[in-house]
Chains A and B, each alone.
Chain A
Amino acid sequence: MKQPRLLREEVILRVVSKALVPLILLFALYVQFHGDFGPGGGFQAGVIFAAGMILYGLIFGLANLQRVWPPRRVELGIGLGVMLYAGVGVATMVRGGRFLAYGALDPHHPVHGQHLGILLVELGVGITVASTLIAIFYALGRVPPEPRG
């Protein structure tokens, strides 16, 4: 029987994924920060970003991916995104507006406040979605825990 080879030893997979991963990440950032103009937003961007990182992890190994995104930091990111989103709401309330009424972020130009609010809120969604997917990928890559008696 043929000896199973690691995915990173497959030349085609390695070369193609090495070329694709930066483009996928760039596209994710484009969808994230260009969501006001084109299709997409935080959710789509987070998913695409996570897909790019997971492709990297599949080909080059979990250890290499975890050097870029330590598991602890990814788990913190899950909560951080939600906190950023809710934090924008708190900030609008502190500025004297209603919860998540972004106009209060810039009292002189409510439209600019809306732009800033949407940008931050979408960033929060993106961080939570990407972190959740990467964290689940890490959890799957782990050896299943022994059943406890």
Chain B
Amino acid sequence: MPFPVDAILFVFLLTMAVVIARRQELFSAAMLTGLFSLLSAGLFTLMDALDVAFTEAAVGAGFSTILLLGALTRTTGLEYQQRRPRTRPLMIVFSTGAALIYGTLDMPHFGDPAAAIHHHVTPDYLARTPVEIDVPNVVTAVLASYRGYDTLGETMVIFVGGVGVLLVLTGRWRWRRRVR
């Protein structure tokens, strides 16, 4: 039996989540979310999803932490204190979690060759890519060429999201002042 690295990572991940939730200083909570993302990146690497792992390590562990710290400079360093534990939100969270776990019971096992996703359009892409596009990485061929429209849409989403965040953060409402 191989060394269960993924099980250990999952235990760390769970511990990290509990620690973050119980933390009251927001600074250390922000730093720990960075570690949480780094652990997730490790898990993605174990699942051979290297591109997702890159993204998680750079965005989750790097950029999001900086975003959280930047947000912290504009607010207080301590979490808002609840007087007594509230049961209703806890029950909603637990039932949502239970529903999600119940949902995974029907899913095919990780790497199952009989899974539906391996039998729909995937064989077609795998067969056509060497002939039509001739790049070794089929993922790139699917994302950039076969599904080029989707990727253009995703880039637009980043564009619109970025412009929206910049407008909110820098408060450039010049057009509005001119109307007044």
Q: Does A115 contact B (CB under 8 A)?
A: yes
Across-interface contacts of A121 in B (CB, < 8 A)? 144, 148, 151-152
Q: Which of B149-180 contact A (CB under 8 A)?
A: 149, 151-152, 154-156, 158-159, 161-163, 165-166, 169-171
Report the separation of the CA atoms of residues A31 and B66 in the bound assembly, to the nearest whole angstrom: 23
Who on chain A is nearest to B161 by CB? Answer: A132
Q: Does more than half of chain B's interface fall in helix, strand or loop, or is it mixed?
A: helix
Q: CB within 8 A of B159: which of A36, A41, A55, A132?
A: A132
Return the CB mask of A112-141 against B: 1 if under 8 Å, else 0: 001101100110110011011101110111
Report the separation of the CA atoms of residues A122 and B154 in the bound assembly, to the nearest whole angstrom: 12
Chain A count of residues within 8 A CB distance of the other chain: 53
Q: Does A44 contact B (CB under 8 A)?
A: yes
Who on chain B is nearest to A125 by CB? Answer: B155
B145 CB, min distance to chain A CBs, angstroms = 6
Q: Does more than half of chain A's interface fall in helix, strand or loop, or is it mixed?
A: helix
Q: Which of A103, A115, A133 has the most CB of B within 10 A?
A: A133
Query: Do B133 and A114 touch (CB < 8 A)?
Result: yes
Task: Kindly specify which of B14-22, B23-31, B52-60 makes contact with the partner chain.
Answer: B52-60
Q: Does B132 contact A (CB under 8 A)?
A: yes
Q: Given A44-B58, A136-B166, A139-B169, is A85 in contact with B155 using a C-beta cutoff of 8 Å?
A: yes
Query: Do B50 and A136 touch (CB < 8 A)?
Result: no
21 A-B pairs in the complex with CB atoms less than 8 angstroms apart: A35-B137, A37-B135, A38-B137, A39-B54, A41-B144, A44-B51, A47-B55, A48-B58, A54-B63, A54-B66, A85-B155, A89-B152, A102-B145, A114-B134, A115-B134, A121-B148, A121-B151, A128-B155, A135-B162, A139-B170, A142-B170
Who on chain B is nearest to A82 by CB? Answer: B159
Across-interface contacts of A59 in B (CB, < 8 A)? none
Across-interface contacts of B169 in A (CB, < 8 A)? 136, 139-140, 142
Query: Do B136 and A36 touch (CB < 8 A)?
Result: yes
Report the separation of the CA atoms of residues A82 and B155 in the bound assembly, to the nearest whole angstrom: 6
